[in-house]
Amino acid sequence: MGIAQVFMDVGSDGVAVITMSNPPVNALAPSIIYGLKEKYTEAMNRKDVKAIVLTGGNGKFSGGFDINVFAEVHKTGDLLALPDVSVDLVVNTIEDAKKPSVAAIQGLALGGGLELAMGCHARISTPDAQLGLPELTLGVIPGFGGTQRLPRLVGLSKATDMMLLSKFIRAKEGKTYGLVDALASPEELLKVARHWALEIAERRKPWISSLQRSDKLGSLSEAQQVLHATRQQAKRTTPHMPQSQVCLDAIEEGIVFGGYAGVIKEAKLFKEIVLSPTARSLVHVFFAQRLTSKVPKVTDLGLKPRHIGQVAVIGGGLMGSGIATALILSDIRVILKEVDSNLLQKGLKSIEVNLEGLVKKGSLALDKKKKALAILKGVLDYSDFRNVDMVIEAVIEKAPLKQSIFSEIEKVCPPHCILASNTSTINLNVVGEKTNSQDRIVGAHFFSPAHVMPLLEIVRTETTSPLVILDLMNLGKIIKKVPVVVGNCTGFAVNRIFFPYSQAAKLLVHLGVDLYRIDGVISSFGMPMGPFQLEDVAGYGVSLAVKPIFASAFKGRTFESKLLELMVDAGRNGKANGKGYYLYEPGSKPKPDPSLQVIIAESIKQANLMHHGKPINVTDQDIVEMVFFPVVNEACRVIDEGVVVRASDVDIASILGMGFPKHRGGLVFWADTIGSSYIYSRLKSLEDAYGGFFAPSPYLEERAKKGLPLSLESSSSSHSTKSRL
């Protein structure tokens, strides 16, 4: 961040323009808050100032309160680091001042930024500025009066919608709701705002304090009905997010007892919720996600990413068509290659279906769909490959096939062309073994469905050039993915860390624990679905293909059973044929299938794990620990071997790639809330009872013995022979 400063410039018209400057987003750091207070006091005291225009520098109003302060409060527990903005600055200094303020908004006004603007007596904005109160995504609630002023400006339903869903709206939409008083072009913005401020001062325009308004709130009973319905919905959709209910508590206080009482209640609730485990987790996730874009020896070399105008995707199956969809949606021209016209037509059709799905959901306009399809071309040979900047191979997981494709594309593509593979498991050195282009071979591991899932795992080998990594990171951002750079090993980071997840669940079944109970417990923990339903949805082909790969790469710590083979023998292929661990019927939820018990009994018999044939007795907590601690253990190895740049990259990869609950802060963050010593001792006793699958890794053991968090960076604790990054 640059230097945080507040400037004031008083014009001959008697308008003081107060500008917040704290690049890149003018976050409201404590120094900005104090600076605002100081400039406002000066403006009030100066006789030549009639009115104030509040604005932000560098084309942005403000991205909200400085989230670093939350991180500081989480570290120290000291709430004094939070300045009193809501009453002292917004109510007393701005809203109740004897001179009017007008907010001149461009770029964005989010969180505390929008709350300052709502404390002003009018808001003028450029049409495309983004407005929103996204505090709930950080586990907190709006704390500068937003829970009170937004409902009073736009009405209760719209306001709860914007706050609970952390929805951003454009200013032109805000104008229709009454959040914005007038729109102006960037060139005219200040002029219009100055004029408006003077008009208020001279009483030619109304002098409105948002907090005093009630005209948009409806009657008390209507308001309470809306709040009740919203509460019920939030309980269903965000059961792990206490901030939703707390936000509604603050709103309700203001509806019942008036805006000022609401502001006081909001401030009190804010100070409680900011220390909640959810806020700690979500603030961690905010910074962890941004850290993924800082990759040593890649982003610190002063390199500039090259333009990627055209990409060839090889293979039009589920992954290839999803990747192509993601690319054309972001205006990148795509050549889709298949081996015969039948498969090509299928691939092109899947892309169209993907786009139609987005149109149906309302997230893609029809003309945007047409535009996207116009930059897609299907081909059956390599002749068009001479013009592409990147190839993404997405064929089935067979090493010899990938090798022959890579040696062919090396010959036909231009020398600058990046050669990427979407393999999820196969070592990239093997993929590129038959080429002389090791420096431009890279993994671009998308997650299915590729046009929806936000994670892009970028896999670098020891020879991949930094520029190639940077180009792929940049492309990832353009297509709205979160790129996480990892090292090359079997399963890379995500699939490797999560291989024990389904294996542990199967192990539990072979110890006599009910499969549907396991899925239920894991869903309640916060995963989008349990491990068995996930396997049904992903299809057994993937699980069966990777089983031997993991077994040979991670000898001694895999759990083998014949359950899946027995399922396939019995004609069960998962969701694909409507029959897996669950029964799938169109239009209804997956149903448990009692006849599955015969297959499970056979698999249990073959595995012969149960002591005297007796099922084990486990609590729900035992299930969570037996499923996730082996996953944490593998994450420890991945951190120790340098497969990830930093532990927090695992947090982001686990959330975005596997659906690990965000409100728990990601896998390693969650593990650290439990403590390395406890996890180690549990794994140790599970190892004694059930063998090597649970054996704690040396990294975990060392951290536990020293009482250190797993995420703490430390050179001395490394057991690895060599970093892969």
Ligand X SMILES: C[C@H](O)CC(=O)SCCNC(=O)CCNC(=O)[C@H](O)C(C)(C)COP(=O)(O)OP(=O)(O)OC[C@H]1O[C@@H](n2cnc3c(N)ncnc32)[C@H](O)[C@@H]1OP(=O)(O)O
- Contact status, residue 65 vs residue 28, Cβ threshold 8 Å: yes
Minimum gap (Å) between residue 83 Cβ and ligand X: 10
> In terms of CB distance, is 143 or 500 closer to ligand X?
143
> In terms of CB distance, is 198 or 241 closer to ligand X?
241
- For the beta carbon of residue 228, count every other beta carbon within 10 angstroms: 12
- For the beta carbon of residue 408, count every other beta carbon within 10 angstroms: 15
Minimum gap (Å) between residue 498 Cβ and ligand X: 27
Minimum gap (Å) between residue 102 Cβ and ligand X: 21
> In terms of CB distance, is 115 or 634 closer to ligand X?
115
> In terms of CB distance, is 289 or 421 closer to ligand X?
289
> In terms of CB distance, is 1 or 229 closer to ligand X?
1
CA angle 472, 447, 576 (to 5 degrees): 150
Show the tokens assigned to 152.
Answer: 């009073």
Active site residues: 115, 135
State how far Cα 72 lies from the chain centre: 22
Match 């002098």 to its residue by tokens: 207
> In terms of CB distance, is 64 or 378 closer to ligand X?
64
Show the tokens assigned to 326.
Answer: 């993601």
- Contact status, residue 313 vs residue 326, Cβ threshold 8 Å: no
Show the tokens assigned to 494.
Answer: 């995500």
- Contact status, residue 287 vs residue 280, Cβ threshold 8 Å: no
Nearest in space to 326 (alpha carbons), one of 456, 132, 161, 517: 456
Side-chain half-sphere exposure of 31, counting CA atoms within 13 A: 10
Minimum gap (Å) between residue 35 Cβ and ligand X: 16
- Contact status, residue 109 vs residue 131, Cβ threshold 8 Å: yes
Minimum gap (Å) between residue 334 Cβ and ligand X: 25
152/642 Cα distance (integer angstroms)? 52
- Contact status, residue 110 vs residue 64, Cβ threshold 8 Å: yes
- Residues β-bridged to residue 131: 109, 169
Question: Which is it for strands 441-446 and 418-421: parallel, antiparallel or unpaired?
Answer: parallel
> In terms of CB distance, is 286 or 690 closer to ligand X?
286
Minimum gap (Å) between residue 8 Cβ and ligand X: 23
What does residue 722 show for φ and ψ, rounded to 5 degrees? -155, 135
> In terms of CB distance, is 290 or 307 closer to ligand X?
290
> In terms of CB distance, is 63 or 531 closer to ligand X?
63
Minimum gap (Å) between residue 135 Cβ and ligand X: 5
> In terms of CB distance, is 25 or 508 closer to ligand X?
25
190/600 Cα distance (integer angstroms)? 71
Minimum gap (Å) between residue 453 Cβ and ligand X: 19
153/141 Cα distance (integer angstroms)? 18
Minimum gap (Å) between residue 565 Cβ and ligand X: 46
Minimum gap (Å) between residue 243 Cβ and ligand X: 11
Minimum gap (Å) between residue 110 Cβ and ligand X: 4
What does residue 180 show for φ and ψ, rounded to 5 degrees? -115, 135
- Residues β-bridged to residue 442: 420
Nearest in space to 283 (alpha carbons), one of 696, 709, 669: 669
* Contact residues: ligand X, CB under 6 A: 24-25, 27, 63-68, 108, 110-112, 115, 134-135, 138, 142-144, 146, 290
> In terms of CB distance, is 244 or 425 closer to ligand X?
244
What does residue 102 show for φ and ψ, rounded to 5 degrees? -125, 135
- Burial annotation 131-144 (CB, 10 A radius, 16+ → b, else e): bbbbbbbbbbbbbb
- Contact status, residue 424 vs residue 445, Cβ threshold 8 Å: yes
Dihedral angle, C-alpha 313, 315, 319, 323, nearest 10 °? 20
- Burial annotation 23-42 (CB, 10 A radius, 16+ → b, else e): eebbbbbbebbebbbebbee
- Contact status, residue 90 vs residue 121, Cβ threshold 8 Å: no
> In terms of CB distance, is 110 or 431 closer to ligand X?
110
For the sheet with 15-21, list strands across it.
5-10, 15-21, 51-56, 101-105, 122-125, 182-183
- For the beta carbon of residue 58, count every other beta carbon within 10 angstroms: 15
Residue least distant from ligand X (Cβ): 111
DSSP 102: E
Secondary structure (3-state) at 416 = coil
385/380 Cα distance (integer angstroms)? 11
Minimum gap (Å) between residue 271 Cβ and ligand X: 11
What does residue 305 show for φ and ψ, rounded to 5 degrees? -65, 145
- Contact status, residue 213 vs residue 152, Cβ threshold 8 Å: yes
